[in-house]
Amino acid sequence: MRAMVAWVALFVLLLLLLLLLLLPLISVHHSYAEDKYLQNDEIIVQFEEPLRRVAGELMKSYPVVKGELAKSLGWRVDVRPVVVLIRDADTFRRIAGSKLIIALAIPEKDIIVIDYSRMNVHPFTLETTLKHELCHLQLHHHIQERNLPRWLDEGICQWVNGGVAEIMTDGKHSLLKEATLAKKVISISELTDRFPSEGTDLLLAYEEGKSIVEYISKEFGSAAVLSMLEDLSRGDDLEGAVKKSLSISVGELENRWRSYLKRETSWFAYISNNLYEVLFFVAALFTVYGFIRMMKRKRDYRDEGDETEDEHV
C-alpha cells in the first residue's frame, strides 16, 4: 500500500513538473494564436486584434511610403516587409533592448517591429517610422553589410525621412553641439560596426550619423550621396565609394565634417540657442547668492546684538 502511494505521489510530482515546463510554450503558442495578419503582394502586417484598424490603415498608406522612399533613394522597393505592430511598450522594450528605441528593422528577415504605444508622439507617426525602417531594409537589400557602416545606415535613413529617426530624444538641445564644444565627438571608425547600447552616447551616435550625411549633401550635393550608395551597391567598400563620389578619402571627409561642426558651433551660438536655460541658470545663481548674503546679514546682526548686550553688562 505504501509503495502504491509513493508511486502515485511520484507520478503527480512528475506531472506537475511537466506542466511547469510546458506552460511557457503554451503561453507563447497562445500569444501567436491571438496574432492576426493582413497581407497583399507588397506587405504583411502582423498585429493583435485591438490594432486591426491601425493595421488596415498601414496597408493603405504603404504604397505612398514605398513610393516616397523609391523616389528618395532611386531604387525600386522590391522587398516585401513583415511589419509587426506591438501595442505594449514593455514587450517592445524587451525585444529592442533599449527604452529609447521605438522601432527596429531586421534586414536578414525583412521584418520591421514597431512600438505602436509611442506612435503619434511628435515627431513620430506610423508612416514616418515605417519609412525609416523600410529604408534600412532597402539599404541592406542593395548593399552588403560589410560595406555599410552603421553611421551611414542610420544617417541615410534620417536624411530621406526629414531627420526623423527611430529613437526618442527630448528635442530641446543638441548633444552633438555639446560634444563639439567639449571635443568629445565620437570618431567615424568607432561607429562603423555598432552604436553604443544606451544613454547619451547612443543619442549622440544617431545625431552624428545624421549630421555627416547632411554635411555630404550640403557640400557635395544630394546626387553625390546617391552616387556613393550606388557605388556601395556595386561592391565598393566605403573608402572606394567616397573617393569615387566625393574625390576625397574617408579620413579627409571626417576632418572636413569636424571643421564644419566647429564653424557652425560656438559658445555664442550655443548660448543663443539655449538662452532660456542659460537665463534660468544665472537666475538660480543669483538666488543662491542672495540667500547666502541674507544669511550672512542675519548672522552679522545677531553678532552685533550680542556685542551690544555685552557692553551693557
pLDDT in tens, 50-89: 999 999 999 999 999 999 999 999 999 999 999 999 999 9
Residue type for position 75: W
CA angle 148-208-260, nearest 5°? Answer: 115
Alpha-carbon gap, residue 73 to 90, rounded angstroms: 34
Question: Would you say 101 and 167 are in contact if contact means Cβ atoms under 8 Å apart?
Answer: yes
- Nearest 5°: the CA angle 47, 51, 52 is 85
The answer to whether residue 302 scores a pLDDT higher than 50 is: yes
User: What average pLDDT score do residues 224-247 get?
Assistant: 98
Model confidence at 207: pLDDT above 80 = yes
Split at pLDDT 50, 70, 90, the class of 295 is low
Q: Determine the pLDDT at residue 187.
A: 97
Give residue 279's pLDDT band: very low, low, confident or very high (50, 70, 90): very low
pLDDT band of residue 120 (cuts 50, 70, 90) is confident
Q: What is the DSSP string of 71-139?
A: HHHSS------EEEEE--HHHHHHHHS-SSB-EEEEGGGTEEEEEGGGTTSTT--HHHHHHHHHHHHHH
Direct distance between the N- and C-terminal alpha carbons of the chain, in angstroms, rounded to an integer: 103
* pLDDT for res 169: 83
Residue in 225, 50, 58 with CA at minimum distance from that of residue 133: 58
pLDDT of residue 278: 44
Residue 19 has pLDDT above 70, yes or no: no
What's the pLDDT score for residue 296? 63
pLDDT of res. 7: 53
Report the percent of the chain where pLDDT is more than 90: 68
Region 207-216 average pLDDT = 98
101 is written with which cell numbers? 528605441
Minimum mean pLDDT range among 12-16, 143-147, 157-161, 189-193:
12-16
pLDDT computed for residue 30 by the predictor: 40
- The model's pTM: 0.76
Could you confirm whether domain 34-142 is CATH 3.60.21.10? Answer: no
Summarize the confidence of residues 39-60 as an average pLDDT.
96
Q: CA-CA distance, 253 to 238, in Å (whole number)? A: 11
* Rounded mean pLDDT, 156-181: 91
219 vs 290, residue with greater confidence: 219
Greater confidence, 251 or 306?
251
